[in-house]
Amino acid sequence: MQNSYVIQNPFGIHARPARKIVEAAKASKESVTLVKDGKSFNAKSLVHVISVGAKFGDSITVNADGEQAEDVIAAIGAILTAVEQHAEKEQ
C-alpha cells in the first residue's frame, strides 16, 4: 500500500528528520520506500532518505508492504508533514 504527503518543514528532510524516517521504516520487516518524481529510495537507509533531497512543498509517496504497512506509512507521513520547532523561530 502507499500514501502521498507534502513536506511541511521549511527546511525539508535534512539529517535529523531523515533519521526519524529510518527508525520508523525499520519497525517493518518488509521493504519501505520513498518515491519522489518517479525515483525510488530505500527508507531504511539514512543516505537514501537524505538523498531524496525533499524540500518544502515536495510531494513524497511512501510505499510499504506487510502487516504493519499502514502503521509504518502513517508514522513516516507524520514526520514528512511535521514542522520543526527551531524552524519557527528563524526569520
Partner 1 sequence: MLSKLFGKTKSKTIEILAPLSGEVLALTAVPDEAFAGKHMGDGIAIEPSEGKIVAPFDGTVAHLIHTNHAIIVEHNSGLQLLIHIGINTVALNGNGFRAHVSSGDSFQAGDILIEFDRAVIEAAGCPSITPIVIANEDEVKQLEHIVSSGSVTAGAEAVLRAEMNE
Residues that bind partner 1 (CB under 8 A): 11, 14-16, 19, 23, 45-47, 50-51, 53, 55, 86-87, 90
Active site residue 14: yes
Give me 8's grid cell.
511541511
**Residue number with CB closer to partner 1 (3 or 35):** 35
Q: How far is the CB of 35 from partner 1 (least distance, A)?
A: 17
Containing 51, the helix (H) or strand (E) segment is: helix 46-51
For the bound state, the minimum distance from the C-beta of residue 74 to partner 1, rounded and expressed in Å, comes to 21
Q: By C-beta, is 11 or 68 nearer to partner 1?
A: 11
Query: CA torsion sign, 31 to 75 to 23 to 13?
Result: positive
In whole angstroms, how far apart are CA 37 and each of 23, 46, 66? Answer: 23, 19, 24
